[in-house]
Structure 1
């Protein structure tokens, strides 16, 4: 039996690569005769670069960039031929934001990563969006690439700076990227402003308090007024606290992160050769439909006419919702080993779950 193992990261415990290896280890204990094809997956968020480097090889260039919340942070550019990949969360990820102030957090580091990619000769740059702790509409990115504002410096201090912005000149940033194909890999399709915009949808998880949501939204409205309102209405403009908006202003095209990674790693072809597809993530719930890895992998499995099952830390949907996501069955680590061991030994616990699932799904036992 051929089994395709294509999980996302288990946030806070396992990378996608580690999760795939744990599933394979447990599965092989129960069904050693099965052929396992490991394809760690990602959307545009944390782990994006790790997964692509694992699948595509290429060269990782270390870069130190401004950290969204002050100071500097190490990051990387992945070069594969003339294409460069960067991960926004490495510069402004929510996981870096223990001391965060969302009203001053900026995206200059993401702009620095883009600049490093272009300066190294890339003619195509793919920016993974997701898992960020910023809400500045990508203003910091624009500034790092040369855009200027009145008053000077208004783009560099998060929403607090945008509260005073009167005008923005994008010409220097666009000139910096002339001749470069820019791709925004995003797992969300929100517009920048409004009830489903960046601030109202994702601001609270980044630390924007309920009483400050309207004020922060107003600062993004000032940025839009100084740049381009039509672009702010585009699907994906609200991705990563508005980084999608900034990239679209610079001429980027948008592609769902899961779709982009699936194409890069040859997931459709590998699913067609499999008899079963196994995916997974930390928490499998109905939000998994919003551009998340399990739904993307299950969709590929459906097109290949192969069954798909999910292994997760927790399963928070019923069987009806599960099948609406294209998943035959979903299994939870915490149901098998309990919450304490699930966090204390995530790889071992996931391997034990995979061993148990193989009893049901593999005829090679």
Structure 2
């Protein structure tokens, strides 16, 4: 039997490669004769660079950067022979870089991502593809623009402090982007605009530490930031804040669009790189997964894309997740045959299943891999 293992990361516990490896180990313990195709996936969030590094012929360039609070962090750029650079915002702006008590989008900055982009430009890239997702920031890319030569100023002409809240006082810009004509691409499957009820602050601010008052402050600050960008940044397209993807990663999508870049599906980009279509064509069973299989999973996330591809080919698709809250009928309509939860595997919420799923995910995935092999292998 040919089994395709193509999960996303389990946020906060395991990268996609280790998820796939654990499931494969469990399967092989029961059905060692089956053929397992391992193709880890990413939609642009954490793990974007490692997944592409395995799939593409690239040169890996370590780049020192800083985290959302300005502390040293390790970044990496992938460079291809055709002049394309790949990097991910989560290496500098990721929520996983902060403890729960440090999460505050009023002060976190995307400055570290700007250091990565600047390094890619200096390395000679002609196209820079930025994976967006999993960010701890809500500064509309203001921090990112600073290492690229653009500084946000207040009414007195002073540089603003870092963080989303400070943008409430932005009045002008100093400098111009130093990107040497590089084409920027935001790889994301988030289609939110920058502002409003479905914008960056309202939808994603709470998971980054914002309360309701913070959300209103941050949304108003981003509105002012967008007005200044549109008025003062050369080449900024009119109405960019309303474009799909502008709200990705706390408004980093908006900054890319303001610089004349474009948004592209991160899942589609990675799928092409790893040859997902051919792997789906050859599979008898598809196993995918992510940390939380919920209502957002079916809106352009990895699981939705994989399940839809399997459904179109008449191939069964099983989802493994830390937690499953999607209804069976809704999941089936998306192409999901079955879904299994690590929380339930470890006894459910009332019996410590949540803690076990977070701290022993590989153990649970191996067990579920063996269970699936007993159920599905010929």
| Structure 1 unaligned regions, length at least 5 | none
User: Deviation of residue 325 (structure 1)?
Assistant: 2.2
Structure 2 residue corresponding to 1:327, chosen from 327, 336, 348? 336
Alpha-carbon distance between aligned partners in 1 of 2:368 and 2:153, rounded to the nearest angstrom: 57
After superposition, residues 246-325 of structure 1 pair within 5 angstroms as 246-325=255-334
- Aligned twin of 2:190: 188
Equivalent-residue separation in structure 1 for 2:117 and 2:312 (angstroms): 35
Q: CA deviation at 1:153?
A: 5.5
Query: Counterpart in 2 of 1:166?
Result: 171
8 Å contact from structure 1 (residues 139, 155) kept in 2: no
Distance 1:209 1:23, change over 3 A: same
Report if aligned partners of 1:60, 1:77 keep a CA contact under 8 Å in 2: yes
User: Is the CA contact (8 Å cut-off) linking 2:121 and 2:180 kept in structure 1?
Assistant: no
SS in 2 for 1:18: helix
Contact 1:154 1:162 in 2 (8 A): no
What's the counterpart of residue 18 of structure 2?
A: 18
Change (3 A) 1:100 1:345: closer
Residue 285 of structure 1, CA deviation: 1.5
Question: Which segments of 5 or more consecutive residues in structure 2 lack a partner in the other structure?
Answer: 231-237, 348-352
Alignment of 1:131-280 (within 5 A): 131-151=134-154, 152=157, 154=159, 157-168=162-173, 172-173=176-177, 176-228=178-230, 230-280=239-289
Q: How much has 1:337 moved relative to structure 2?
A: 3.3
**Contact conserved, 1:313 with 1:342, CA < 8 A, in 2?**
yes
Could you say if the C-alpha distance between residues 341 and 217 of structure 1 is closer, same or farther in structure 2, counting changes exceeding 3 Å? Answer: closer
Aligned to 1:349: 364
Partner Cα separation in structure 1 for residue 292 and residue 53 of structure 2: 25
Q: Secondary structure at the match of 2:78?
A: strand
Aligned pair count reads 360
Given that residues 153 and 160 in structure 2 are in contact (C-alpha distance below 8 angstroms), is that contact kept between their aligned partners in structure 1?
no
Secondary structure of residue in 2 paired with 1:227: helix
SS in 1 for 2:164: helix
2:68 counterpart SS class? coil
3-state SS of 2:251 partner: helix
Shift of 1:333: 2.4
Q: Are 1:108 and 1:156, in contact at CA under 8 Å, matched by a contact in 2?
A: no
- Residue 297 (structure 1) shift: 1.1
Counterpart in the other structure of 1:28: 28
Question: Following the alignment from structure 1 to structure 2, what is the Cα–Cα distance between the partners of residues 120 and 153?
Answer: 31
How much is the aligned-residue C-alpha RMSD, in angstroms? 1.7
